[in-house]
Amino acid sequence: MNILEEIRTKFGSKADILVKSKKRVYVSVSLDDAKDVISYLFRILGARMSIATGIDTRTGVEMLYHMAFDKHDLVVTVRTVVEKPELKMPTLTDIIPAANWIEREIHEMLGVDFIGHPGLERLLLPDDWQAGEYPFRKKTFDSEKEGEPHP
Amino acid sequence: MVDLFKWGLKKSPWVFHLAASACNNCDIELLDTLTPKFDVERFGITLVGSPRHADVLVVSGIVNRQSIERFKRVYDDVPKPKLVVAIGACACSADMFRDSYNFVKPVDEIIPVDVYVPGCPPKPEAIIAGIIKALGKIK
Amino acid sequence: MAKENFIPIGPFHPLLEEPEYFKFFVEGEKIVDAEVRVGYNHRGIEKLAESKTYEQDVFLVERICGICSTSHPFAFVQAAEDISGIEVPERAKYIRTIIGELERIHSHLLWVGLAGHFIGYNTVFMWAWKYREPVLDIFEAISGNRNHYGMFKVGGVRRDILEKDVPSLLKAISEVEGFCSMLTKAVMDDPVIQARTKGIGILKKKDAIDLCVVGPVARASGIDIDIRKDHPYAAYDKVCFDKIVMQDGDVFSKAAIRLLETIESVKIIRACLKDLPKGPIDADIREIGIGEGIGQHEAPRGEVIHYVRSNGSNYPERHKIRAPSFMNVPSFKKTVIGESIADAALITAAVDPCYCCTERMVVVDRETNRTLKTGEELVRLCQEKTEKMIK
In angstroms, the CA B3 to CA B138 distance is 10
Q: Is residue C8 pLDDT above 80, yes or no?
A: no
- Which three-class secondary structure state does DSSP give residue A117? coil
Identify any residues that bridge with C308 across adjacent strands, giving them in sequence order: C293, C319
Least confident of B89-93, C6-10, C255-259: C6-10
B14-19: strand order across its sheet: B46-47, B14-19, B56-60, B83-87, B115-117
Output DSSP code: residue C308: E
Rounded to 5 degrees, what angle do the CA atoms B71, B72, B76 make? 120
* Mean pLDDT, range C188-196, rounded to an integer: 92
DSSP letter (8 states) at residue B95:
G
The mean pLDDT of C4-21, rounded to a whole number, is: 34
DSSP string for C256-290: HHHHHHHHHHHHHHHHHHHT---S-SB-------E
Read off the pLDDT of each residue in C378-385 and give the average, rounded to a whole number. 82
Residue of higher predicted confidence among C83 and B74: C83
Mean pLDDT in residue range A2-8: 96
Cα–Cα nearest to C331, from C189, C172, C213, C197:
C213
Write out chain B residues lying below 8 Å of C110, CB-based.
28
- The pLDDT confidence band at residue C357, using thresholds 50, 70 and 90, is very low
Q: What pLDDT is stored for residue C225 in this prediction? A: 97
pLDDT score at C359: 41
Closest CA to C188 of C135, C118, C116: C116
Angle C124-C127-C128 from CA coordinates, rounded to 5°: 80
Confidence of residue C373 (pLDDT cuts 50, 70, 90): low
Does the domain at residues A3-86 carry the CATH identifier 3.30.460.80? yes
Residues whose CB falls within 8 Å of the CB of residue C8, separated by 6 or more in sequence, listed in order:
none
Contact B108, B15 (CB under 8 A): no
Q: For residue C17, what pLDDT band results from cuts at 50, 70 and 90?
A: very low
What percentage of chain A carries pLDDT values higher than 90? Answer: 79
The distance between the two most distant Cα atoms of chain A, rounded to a whole number of Å, is 50
| Region of residue A26 (left: phi > 0; alpha: psi -120 to 50; beta: else) | beta
Lowest mean pLDDT segment, chosen from A11-25, C9-23, C139-153, C335-349: C9-23
Q: Which of C106-110, C146-150, C278-282 has the highest mean pLDDT?
A: C278-282
pLDDT at C356: 41
Does the pLDDT of residue B18 top 90, yes or no? no
For residue B68, the chain A residue with the least C-alpha distance is A126
User: What gap in Å lies between CA C174 and CA A67, rounded to an integer?
Assistant: 39
pLDDT band at residue C47, thresholds of 50, 70 and 90?
Answer: confident
Q: Boundaries of CATH 1.10.645.10 in chain C? A: 45-200+227-322
Q: pLDDT digits over C200-239, tens only?
A: 999 999 999 999 999 999 999 999 999 999 999 999 999 9
Cis preceding-peptide flag for B121 (omega within 30 of 0): yes
Kindly tell me if the per-residue pLDDT of C358 is higher than 60: no
The ipTM of this complex is 0.93
Task: Report the alpha-carbon distance of residue C139 to residue C144 in Å, rounded.
Answer: 7
**3-state class of B43 per DSSP?**
helix
Of residues A42 and C3, which shows the higher confidence score?
A42
Alpha-carbon distance A54 to A110, whole Å? 7
Candidate from C47, C225, C293 with C-beta closest to A135: C47
- Helices (H) and strands (E) in chain B — how many of each? 5, 5
Q: What pLDDT does C129 receive?
A: 86
Residue C347's SS3 state is helix
Residue range C235-256: mean pLDDT, rounded: 96
Partners of residue B69 in chain A, C-beta under 8 Å:
none
Closest chain A residue by Cα to residue C319? A53
Whether C23 has a pLDDT exceeding 80, the answer reads no
> How large is the average pLDDT for residues C270-298?
96
The pLDDT score that the predictor gives to residue C348 is 83
Taking residues B61-82, report their average pLDDT: 86
Does the beta carbon of B65 lie under 8 angstroms from any beta carbon of chain A?
Answer: yes
Residue C376 pLDDT > 80: no
| A97 in contact with chain B, both atoms CB, cutoff 8 A | no
* Chain centre to alpha carbon of residue C58: 19
Domains observed in chain B: 2-136 (3.40.50.12280)
The pLDDT, as a whole number, for residue B11 is 67
Q: Which amino acid is at B24?
A: N
Superfamily of C45-200+227-322 according to CATH: Cytochrome-c3 Hydrogenase, chain B (1.10.645.10)
3 state SS of B27: helix
Whole-model pTM? 0.90
State yes or no: pLDDT of A42 exceeds 60: yes
**Chain C interface, Cβ < 8 Å to A:** 38-39, 42, 44, 46-47, 82, 85, 207, 209-213, 224-225, 227, 230-232, 291-294, 296, 303, 305, 307, 309, 311, 317-318, 320, 322, 326-327, 330
Q: Which of B97-101, C166-170, C176-180, C319-323 has the lowest mean pLDDT?
A: B97-101
Q: Show which residues on chain C lie within 8 Å of chain B, measured between beta carbons.
A: 10, 12-15, 17-19, 39-45, 47-48, 51-52, 56, 59-60, 63-67, 69, 110, 126, 129-130, 133, 146-148, 354-356, 376
Distance between A45 CA and the closest CA of chain C, angstroms: 13
- The amino acid sitting at C82 is D
How much is the pLDDT for A102?
A: 95
pLDDT band at C381 (very low <50, low <70, confident <90, very high): confident
